[in-house]
Amino acid sequence: MSEVPTPGLATCCWMQFGGANGELAAAMQYSIQGLNCDDPDRKDMLMDIGTEELSHLEIVGTLARMHLKPIKKSRDSAEADPLIAIACEGGVGLFNSMGDAWTADYLKITGELDVDLRSNIAAEAQAKIVYEHLINLSDDPGTKDALQFLMTREITHMKAFTGALESLGKDPFSIGNIPPTPGLVDEYFNDSTGLGDEGETDARGPWNTGGKWKIVESPELEQGVEGRSGETIVKNHKPVSEETGKTRVKKSA
Amino acid sequence: MSEVPTPGLATCCWMQFGGANGELAAAMQYSIQGLNCDDPDRKDMLMDIGTEELSHLEIVGTLARMHLKPIKKSRDSAEADPLIAIACEGGVGLFNSMGDAWTADYLKITGELDVDLRSNIAAEAQAKIVYEHLINLSDDPGTKDALQFLMTREITHMKAFTGALESLGKDPFSIGNIPPTPGLVDEYFNDSTGLGDEGETDARGPWNTGGKWKIVESPELEQGVEGRSGETIVKNHKPVSEETGKTRVKKSA
Amino acid sequence: MSEVPTPGLATCCWMQFGGANGELAAAMQYSIQGLNCDDPDRKDMLMDIGTEELSHLEIVGTLARMHLKPIKKSRDSAEADPLIAIACEGGVGLFNSMGDAWTADYLKITGELDVDLRSNIAAEAQAKIVYEHLINLSDDPGTKDALQFLMTREITHMKAFTGALESLGKDPFSIGNIPPTPGLVDEYFNDSTGLGDEGETDARGPWNTGGKWKIVESPELEQGVEGRSGETIVKNHKPVSEETGKTRVKKSA
Amino acid sequence: MSEVPTPGLATCCWMQFGGANGELAAAMQYSIQGLNCDDPDRKDMLMDIGTEELSHLEIVGTLARMHLKPIKKSRDSAEADPLIAIACEGGVGLFNSMGDAWTADYLKITGELDVDLRSNIAAEAQAKIVYEHLINLSDDPGTKDALQFLMTREITHMKAFTGALESLGKDPFSIGNIPPTPGLVDEYFNDSTGLGDEGETDARGPWNTGGKWKIVESPELEQGVEGRSGETIVKNHKPVSEETGKTRVKKSA
Amino acid sequence: MSEVPTPGLATCCWMQFGGANGELAAAMQYSIQGLNCDDPDRKDMLMDIGTEELSHLEIVGTLARMHLKPIKKSRDSAEADPLIAIACEGGVGLFNSMGDAWTADYLKITGELDVDLRSNIAAEAQAKIVYEHLINLSDDPGTKDALQFLMTREITHMKAFTGALESLGKDPFSIGNIPPTPGLVDEYFNDSTGLGDEGETDARGPWNTGGKWKIVESPELEQGVEGRSGETIVKNHKPVSEETGKTRVKKSA
Amino acid sequence: MSEVPTPGLATCCWMQFGGANGELAAAMQYSIQGLNCDDPDRKDMLMDIGTEELSHLEIVGTLARMHLKPIKKSRDSAEADPLIAIACEGGVGLFNSMGDAWTADYLKITGELDVDLRSNIAAEAQAKIVYEHLINLSDDPGTKDALQFLMTREITHMKAFTGALESLGKDPFSIGNIPPTPGLVDEYFNDSTGLGDEGETDARGPWNTGGKWKIVESPELEQGVEGRSGETIVKNHKPVSEETGKTRVKKSA
């Protein structure tokens, strides 16, 4: 380790200790999904990876603690960083870099395996990016090595979750059992202004053109949810029509 | 609408009003990602969909309010559901079905466009499933229609976000700029017990077999992070080695 | 007291014990405003009322406890209300009626005396309404008397805070030191749709007509913040103009 | 814009983005009050102003983003401000200036229109003061202009809410339907010590003298809630009397 | 297992899964104390017990899941318990019995080993009591056995933590390094009223009589912190004296 | 007071104002325990000490306010500490040193008097340590005196709570009514690795040796909870056995 430990880096490491996409969040998200999972094979995978993330929590905590140790409980350091000096007394706590206590509100657990796997893929991508930032912030070779190890494992997990999702053999846009309404599902609502100098040019891309895509101009403005509600969606359902009919946004002339 | 509104359904609807994957969460997640986005075309898409989700928030709130109206401020209803009768006085509040106040801790925003798009795809899948449950709970045709509309739009957004992600042309496992460590990235750590009667059979699937996958037996147990750390990861970095070397899990004989 | 205590009423009483506008919130809001107040006379008043609210906290807690006592720690009561039976073991806790822990996020404290007094007037009105609901829920004369006492004192405090606010001799719309922009301050932006069958009729009232009021039709739609920003507000300030110019809402043709 | 953007100002701007009295809080408070409002005219006003606040959220976010852009993802900036560099990756997040996630606990929504309007008047005053501080912190003319615009609109909204409140024609101290107890409502309880050297001089002002005001010396001390409870408030209600009779504060000899 | 699983019991079990004194809280409290601990022997103990609590988390989650399984995703069950049916889709989540997300605010970690051990002893006693309630709520022999196992282990941990605390050889009232002020440390302040009919009898016990105890009558009332501050505590420190001198509580005549 | 007040010290003082183990936490914990307490003598003690802690809250707030006063609302101080300059406008707020709002999640209240007393003893030890740090951070004699007073009282309270706990005459390991399982209660599970160079040496001490202690080697690894569950704990209870039998940790060969 370089001769000068870096309390600031330790604080940043907390992002992966007690942060929204940190190791405890990952460990709990996958393990609890595993507890709720009726598919024994994928349950085994969720437990494998959840267990591995717990071991990462210990590594990250050890790294942070190592960089925190040189902090003296002096007035200077306390004023500079009460999070470390006073709240945690030079130790590690289950906080993120801003001192917010970890909360289970960070977790994405639904009980639908394919939905959960998508959340996990996204979570691993989030964690991978944070480790990349931490590597860039570090100049100690040993710390960089440890962070590279942890960052690599996130990609491993992305691959595993992706393999598990694909092995379910579901259409990527088939979620749950009730199919979406045909036609409506392919309408792209152009609700914001364009991007040109005058604001009149809207962007086009694979997200609203090609295939079955059909661009619908600002339905809230030109016909309102009202017209749509009244005639199509909540037909024969006057109370809804009466109330949702008044969108907040002014109809154009 | 059926003659008897259903306060219980209203409570459940709150999941999509003030819940972790509800409409406010979606609107804020996409709009703030849009504010941070330097790519003008995809920023336009994020703003389009964020704006649409805000209009959905209004629809869900109106639905919930409609089903809540018949609640008299009586002692019976207050005891049965203080959330509705006392806390919100028969109105809608920014809570989930359990009465927890909405929090921005629900949001997944990283500033990396491809990572954010993955989070959005997962978020839409989560919301789709909740709408499906609400449809199953409802027996009023008008309410069912409105929920079907909202559910359909979530699939539309999944498609749009997927199109935008693919249009970036990135390898699905290429996140950020620093590549993962070759070899290590393909190792599947078998950390939990098997699934057979004796606990010795582990699951195999596309998430740990085929391609470059190599299964590594419980590295925490058989060699410890210590061995790994000491020799490979945090080589020449004694302090980390000394501390992380002692994993919590007993080494087998 | 009537022979049958009412656990449900106890739960509702918690709204005034550990709720957002309950007695602890009032006591803390006024006492901390008092600690920060440099005006000795109004500081004395804030401390007087803050101290009184603390004594109310004790009364409300005692009332709730009295109605909770008959709850047996049985399976039935635990399943019916885990909040009371398990979490608080038949006692009182610092939660609201939905079981949410009290948080200082409920408090409105700014350090500007006139602003704080307005918050306090609003807070007393909120608390008065909740006591009114509790009285309506109760059929025990003694409980009703205690609640009437507490409700009355909220009106007393409204009067005191109003007297203190008026004694500052400030114009009701003069807040802080920087005056608002003339002209703009009297423009009412008509941003939502009207209320008629076709959505074209907008409401008129003392909040947008009479005096200096001037109604401006949907400025976001017809000229955009862009036009306004570009020309007036952030003139010579291209970066803001370029970005805020694109409002989310489609410009009308 | 001045040549040197100011990340610190950006952090402070977050107070109005994701803070307790920021633009999202305002937008949600008014819009949800509007959803719950049965009076169509004032509902229109709540929706108008709620919609305008949403557009302000976008302006504030854009301002913050503009000042954040120059932040390099360097070790220095990350150590100086992990909130910006690591948690939000140089972008905007739904946090306040201390990095606390936005929560609906900030909102004041009761379902009583006059009570809600009072909360809104107070909320606008709070927001006005924060904008004033931000203007004082800024030295960039364009930023100052944008903040002046936003600050002005808060006063506009104060006026509109005040007009709406007055148009209800209610007595300022008439809240809900149950009248306060005559006599008791005009008693000012002098619960804290005085302000002179010996602590014996108490403040007098329009909040406790004049009109019907009657000062009551420390009722908790001299007669206790007990005496009051036992004889007046919870008369014939022994259990309450027995318990609330013992206030925490020692009776004077 | 009995033939009829009991969703209500499952909800209660959550108290030990995601509750303030549940297994995750225990596991995290002890493990993080262990990470911060410089004493290798007691660190080993903290890690041993932290690891055991993690395995308990899995057992409790499995128990809860088992009792939840029979819940059909029907309208009835969703209305009866949205926590289980909608929020968690019949699975387990990291919530307590009232649906509050787990938060690290539950943890007590100071970095002083003896202080932490006291917190742990208290935490184990808290958890023991909750398991006892759960056993009383259960009538399924298998479930009772599992709960008895978990309850027993809490006593084991109490014993271990007590042994570790005693082995430090510190005086029970010697915390940290700075000794308390002699004399003052033995004064019991009698601040609340007595317990007799007239409120004049105060309780006496080993907590204020015997040994060096000296009862001081309501110092806030009879001499004020002022007198104390001005003369003793903050002597020569006028600003504090001037302000803290005015306690909120009226001085008796 | 020294000539230069110290805003940083003020921030640190907030730990005892609005922090997890601060004065409000103490006041609320003891007072609410007192409200729930059926033992009149110990209830009197809880109320005495709860009341005293409230007066300490006022002292700490006054101290913090005194050190904050010199903060000018300048851009420099706002950028340096938005918590003080913007959020609290140079005043005190109910936050901890990291700007987190106080929450009742900090409190430990169970309704079992002996358990509550243990929590209180631990809480006083925690608060004592924080005051010690604050004293070390301070160089103003008056401030040091006030902190010494407050610190001393925490020890006083520790003594009182200890006296009250001992006066209950309960065995230290007898909590509640259901006795732990004999034998199992004396087994120390050695779940983590040893501490020697090779990780094979485990610590021995009064927490796992002597008396009835019996060390059991890593039961999760060598026999699993499965064996234990299947045969002993949840015997004849197949569903639990089937699921909890698979612990996450690999069985050794």
Distances, alpha carbon C89 to alpha carbons C69, F40, F41, in Å: 10, 19, 21
E93 and A CB contact within 8 Å: yes
E13 and C CB contact within 8 Å: no
Q: What is the mean pLDDT of residues E123-148?
A: 91
Q: Which residues partner with D212 through β-bridges?
A: none
pLDDT at position C75 is 60
Residue E80 above 50 pLDDT? yes
- F85 touches F66 (CB < 8 A): no
E107 and A88 within 8 Å at the Cβ level: the answer is no
pLDDT at position F250 is 34
F203 and E CB contact within 8 Å: yes
pLDDT band at E221 (very low <50, low <70, confident <90, very high): very low
Three-state SS sequence of chain F:
CCCCCCHHHHHHHHHHHHCCCCHHHHHHHHHHHHHHCCCHHHHHHHHHHHHHHHHHHHHHHHHHHHHHCCCCCCHHHHHHCHHHHHHCCCCCCCECCCCCECEHHHCCCCCCHHHHHHHHHHHHHHHHHHHHHHHHHCCCHHHHHHHHHHHHHHHHHHHHHHHHHHHCCCCCCCCCCCCCCCCHHHEEEECCCCCCCCCCCCCCCCCCCCCCCEEEECHHHHCHHHHHHHHHHCCCCHHHHHHHCCCCCCCCC
A78 and F137 within 8 Å at the Cβ level: the answer is yes
d(C-alpha D68, C-alpha F229), whole Å: 57
Average pLDDT of chain D to the nearest whole number: 79
The continuous run of DSSP H or E covering B146 comes out as: helix B141-167
Give the gap in angstroms from C-alpha A104 to the nearest C-alpha of chain D: 14
Give the gap in angstroms from C-alpha D128 to the nearest C-alpha of chain A: 24
pLDDT at position E67 is 82
Residue D13 above 90 pLDDT? no
E250 and D200 within 8 Å at the Cβ level: the answer is no
d(C-alpha E208, C-alpha E186), whole Å: 9
pLDDT at position F188 is 94
- Give the DSSP letter of residue D62: H
pLDDT at position E127 is 95
Distances, alpha carbon E152 to alpha carbons D75, F78, F216, in Å: 49, 53, 15
B110 and D CB contact within 8 Å: yes
CA angle B82, B85, B90 (to 5 degrees): 145
d(C-alpha A234, C-alpha B141), whole Å: 8
Residue A232 above 50 pLDDT? no
C47 and E19 within 8 Å at the Cβ level: the answer is no
User: Which has the higher per-residue pLDDT, B106 or C2?
Assistant: B106
Q: Are strands E187-190 and E214-217 parallel, antiparallel or unpaired?
A: parallel
With a CB cutoff of 8 Å and minimum separation 6, the contacts of B51 are A191, A192, A220, B27, B31, C248, C249
C215 and A CB contact within 8 Å: no
Distances, alpha carbon F95 to alpha carbons A65, B189, C88, F99, in Å: 25, 43, 25, 5
Print pLDDT tens along chain F (253 aa): 344 556 677 777 888 999 999 999 999 999 999 999 989 999 999 999 999 999 999 999 999 888 887 665 566 666 666 666 666 677 889 998 888 999 999 999 988 999 999 999 999 999 999 999 899 888 888 899 999 999 999 999 999 999 999 999 999 999 999 999 999 999 999 887 655 544 456 889 999 999 999 999 866 443 333 322 332 222 222 223 233 333 333 333 3
CA dihedral A135→A138→A140→A144, nearest 10 degrees, is: -10
The continuous run of DSSP H or E covering B158 comes out as: helix B141-167
User: Which has the higher per-residue pLDDT, E115 or D250?
Assistant: E115
What are the residue ranges of helices labelled H in chain A? Answer: 7-18, 23-36, 40-68, 75-80, 82, 113-137, 141-167, 219-222, 224-228, 238-244
Q: In this predicted structure, which of A53-67, A165-179, A239-253, F116-130 has the lowest mean pLDDT? A: A239-253
User: Which has the higher per-residue pLDDT, B69 or C143?
Assistant: C143
A195 and C246 within 8 Å at the Cβ level: the answer is yes
User: Which has the higher per-residue pLDDT, D232 or D213?
Assistant: D213
Tell me the range of B226-230, C5-9, C43-47 where mean pLDDT is highest. Answer: C43-47
Residue E225 above 50 pLDDT? no
Q: To the nearest whole percent, how much of chain E has pLDDT over 90? A: 55
Q: Count H helices, E strands: chain B?
A: 10, 2
d(C-alpha A48, C-alpha E1), whole Å: 28
pLDDT band at E9 (very low <50, low <70, confident <90, very high): confident
d(C-alpha A176, C-alpha B91), whole Å: 31
- For residue E217, the SS3 value is strand
Average pLDDT of chain C to the nearest whole number: 79
d(C-alpha F49, C-alpha F51), whole Å: 5
pLDDT, tens only, C52-72: 999 999 999 989 888 887 665
Phi/psi region, residue E59 (left: phi>0; alpha: psi -120 to 50; beta: rest), is: alpha
pLDDT, tens only, B137-188: 888 888 999 999 999 999 999 999 999 999 999 999 999 999 999 999 999 9
- For residue A251, the SS3 value is coil
How far is CA A55 from its chain centroid? 21
Residue E231 above 50 pLDDT? no
Nearest to B101 among D36, D61, D104 (CB): D104
D110 and B92 within 8 Å at the Cβ level: the answer is no
State both tokens at E159: 């014993």
| Phi (first) and psi of residue B115, to 5 degrees | -65, -45
Q: Which of A21, A35, A44, A117 to mutate to test the interface with B (most CBs of B within 10 A)?
A: A44
Instruction: Look at residues E209, E217, E225 and name the one whose alpha carbon lies nearest to residue E192.
Output: E217
pLDDT at position B67 is 82
pLDDT at position C139 is 82
pLDDT band at E74 (very low <50, low <70, confident <90, very high): low
Residue D19 above 90 pLDDT? yes
- For residue C217, the SS3 value is strand
pLDDT at position E154 is 97
pLDDT band at D244 (very low <50, low <70, confident <90, very high): very low
Instruction: Tell me, yes or no, if the pTM score tops 0.90.
Output: no
- F167 touches E205 (CB < 8 A): yes
Q: To the nearest whole percent, how much of chain A has pLDDT over 70? A: 72
Report CA Rg, chain A. 25
pLDDT at position A191 is 82
To the nearest 10 degrees (0 to 180), the angle between helices F23-36 and F113-137 is 170
d(C-alpha C97, C-alpha E133), whole Å: 22
Number of C:F CB contacts under 8 A? Answer: 86
- Give the DSSP letter of residue E103: B
F250 contacts in chain B (CB < 8 Å): 190-193, 217-218, 221
Residue A163 above 50 pLDDT? yes
Q: In this predicted structure, which of A118-122, C190-194, E189-193 has the lowest mean pLDDT? A: C190-194
What are the residue ranges of helices labelled H in chain E? Answer: 7-18, 23-36, 40-68, 75-80, 82, 113-137, 141-167, 219-222, 224-228, 238-244
F200 contacts in chain B (CB < 8 Å): 251
- For residue D176, the SS3 value is coil
pLDDT band at B77 (very low <50, low <70, confident <90, very high): low
pLDDT, tens only, E81-133: 666 666 667 788 999 888 899 999 999 998 899 999 999 999 999 999 999 98
pLDDT at position F46 is 96
- B21 touches B96 (CB < 8 A): no
pLDDT at position F202 is 82
pLDDT at position C2 is 42
- Give the DSSP letter of residue D95: B
Nearest to E66 among F52, F125, F239 (CB): F239
d(C-alpha B177, C-alpha E198), whole Å: 76
The continuous run of DSSP H or E covering A216 comes out as: strand A214-217
pLDDT, tens only, A182-198: 999 999 998 876 555 44
d(C-alpha D89, C-alpha D82), whole Å: 9
D212 and E CB contact within 8 Å: no
pLDDT at position B79 is 62
pLDDT at position C183 is 95
The number of beta carbons lying within 10 Å of the beta carbon of residue A135 is 18
pLDDT, tens only, D167-198: 999 999 999 999 999 999 999 998 876 555 44
Residue A148 above 90 pLDDT? yes
pLDDT, tens only, D41-78: 999 999 999 999 999 999 999 898 888 876 655 666 66
pLDDT at position A86 is 66
Half-sphere exposure of residue C92: CA atoms within 13 angstroms, side-chain side:
33
Residue C248 above 50 pLDDT? no
pLDDT at position E78 is 63
